[in-house]
Structure 1
Amino acid sequence: MASAVDNRPGGTTERNSNARPTLTLGNRNTTTGASFQSNGPMLAPLRSTKNIPTYIVWSVINLLFIPFGILCCYFSHKVKQLKAQNVYEAATKWSKRTLVLNLMTTLIMIGVIITIVMLNYDHNQRSKNSGSNETTTAAYIPWQPGR
């Protein structure tokens, strides 16, 4: 361990060469505690999480499609928790995940509704045509245009 001796008039003191440097704030003649020591990595200033969307209303609407709707609500709740803890990066990441999951759930839900409506229409058309005495030998094509 290397140490140096201070030979100023007033006494000798030993100082450690491994000590952290101090930065005075413009006044070189002061010996008081007006210095800044770096005690670790500098942290970036906190960003406001106020404008990060949670998509909670959209998630509640997606509850109509049970399995994915519950997951959407969980993601929205997670974003709300991270916003309360003021964790900007994680809240932004979970907000984007919530947006994507809500979008996918809505599109799947619309596709399922369209499929159910078309199958119901097809079933009604088939039951209406089966009452007639006509016999058809042609191949059946569902949702055939002009039927």
Structure 2
Amino acid sequence: MYTGKTEKACCLCGNPDTDSRLDLPPRAVPLLKHSSAIAWRDIVGEVSIYFCDSDWETVRDLVLETGMSPLPRCNVARASFDLRSDFEALLNDIRDEPDHSELEAEMRAEAERLLENRDDPYVEERDIVEARVIQWVFEDTEASA
């Protein structure tokens, strides 16, 4: 079974023709719809969710104009991420969980930089949406911890 990262359909409607992608920290997975069976601490690297053109407009408006996260409406089955191999079952060997601290620090710092420089001509609207969603992921998961 391949558990590698592949491009997926729109996480809202399932349309296979996607135009936009958000890369999120693994701790975003519990905030997605139908995620209770996924051990997010076993994810290696970022989690990507994709949107078709029409749903991207809705997400953009939801984040930038309404100030709401789209994640609870996104189906985790349509997210793309890498899971660590299950060597514990195969080889009776216990492996450490992936350390997300470096990835999370980089994503948090980049999100803060983008939001501070949102008027920069090189900062795209998609980057602002992604940065705001990343901030909400950290706010939501740290508040519940």
Which structure has the larger Rg? 1
TM-score by length of 1: 0.27
TM-score by length of 2: 0.28
Q: Which has the larger strand fraction?
A: 2
Greater RCO, 1 or 2 (C-alpha within 8 Å, sep 6+): 2
